[in-house]
Amino acid sequence: MARLFGTDGVRGIANVELTNRIAYGLGQAAVRFLGKTIVVGRDTRLSGDMLQAALVAGITSAGGTAFLAGIVPTPAVALLTRKLNAAGGVVISASHNPPEYNGIKLFDGQGFKLPDAAEDAIEEFVMGGGLEGAVQRAQQQGEPVQMPSGGDVGIAVELQQACSMYIEHVVEAVRSQGITFEGLTVALDTGHGASSHTSEEALTRLGATVVTINDDYDGTDINVECGSTHLEPLRKLVVQSQADVGIAHDGDADRVMLMTAQGEALDGDVIEAVCALDMKQRGVLPGDTVVSTVMCNLGFVHAMRDAGIDVVQTKVGDRYVLEAMREHGYAIGGEQSGHMILLDHNSTGDGLMTAVQFLAAVKRSGKTIAEAAAVMRRFPQELINVRVADKHTAVENSQVKEAVAAAEQALGDDGRVLLRPSGTEPVIRVMVEAGSEAVAQQQARAIADVVEHACA
């Protein structure tokens, strides 16, 4: 059986792969493995109501208290968990995935995602029948254990100021640096997602003029041809509004993509480079080191090297970036996809905090967005997603290995090849980096064709 947890919690098509039974079990597991008080937040997906009801039933059936934050960005749940001294937090969201998907991810009491070992224990508990299964097994062994009842059953409490607390946290993080965004025009695409409640207000309170699209939602439009994975609507808005910068979030706003006034997209590599250089200049970059993943562009590594900054590269997934940061005391880490962790400000990827810290860095530099972004020269990079029957065996296929070896030989020292299975979908991601766009596309297409024919 495939592992229940992927790279970012439990995820699948809601009510088909991610069922109410699983949500109920994860609610019980949150109380069993984290503690009695659990903050619960969700994005705008239609299935959020259903899964939240099941999750909260699990929490309360285990004797826990569910603090209901409502529709809030993922980083807000991490923040609220700390501020309320809760035992843990749960987010119901499938992040950047299509509307029919949903997911459940857990935070510990410090707002950090759980390590693999903890997820393995939770998976065993859930698949073993949850609390009811544990009670039944205990009774079979002669232990007088019962399900919570009467006054021991938990409750659900609505949090009235969840979004406000998060917004204030973001605003204060910039104001404390003596920075405002007066005179700045921001084009904002909230992707019909959770940031519809937070990003415009925070940016406005910091002095920016904000023009927003896709801040409404009906539960079936989240991430659909908009947001951080579909930048064309933002590009049009930047031009129409003559904005200085564009900001696009995914559904739960744990990531961000930015755009210059000229319509050039700035991904996580560029954002991290600008923020890291600013932190080094201010003397707040521990160890003169940043953390990224194996997917980061070679241009990022070169830019950091030229600035005297070391780059630690991890497996893909912000959880692995975070593990390296916590282990060695680093303050900034990110992914090309726009996940950025700034441990001085939050314990998980935070799209809005990342955007405002980037803008603060640009303000200090006295440059335009495009001028600040020119700190790194991007190596052309081609990424092709190939849907396969079994993503776990595809990378070991002999034909695929031969195709990869041939591409690596052709590229030599002027590029690289990376194949990896998606953490959330039956997909193999084929990435090729090369000295020219044409070569990157050619080699990536050649490998992807082999993957598609050999592993479909």
N- to C-terminal Cα separation, the chain: 20
Measure the CA–CA gap between 453 and 250, rounded to whole angstroms.
32
Axis-axis angle for helices 130-140, 20-33 (nearest 10):
60
Measure the CA–CA gap between 102 and 95, rounded to whole angstroms.
8
Q: Quick one: which of 330, 331, 350, 328 has its CA closest to 340?
A: 350
- 357: buried, middle or exposed (CB in 10 Å: 19+, 13-18, 0-12)? buried
Sheet containing strand 155-158, edge to edge, reads 10-13, 101-108, 88-92, 37-42, 65-71, 155-158
C-beta separation of 340 from 332 below 8 A: yes
Identify the residue whose tokens are 């207000």: 201
Structure tokens at 415: 């590029």
- Selecting among 47, 95, 241, 337, the annotated active-site residue is 95
Q: Say whether 196 is catalytic.
A: no
Measure the CA–CA gap between 94 and 107, rounded to whole angstroms.
15
* Sign of the CA dihedral with 80 first, then 82, 87, and 90 last: positive
Residues serving a catalytic function are 95
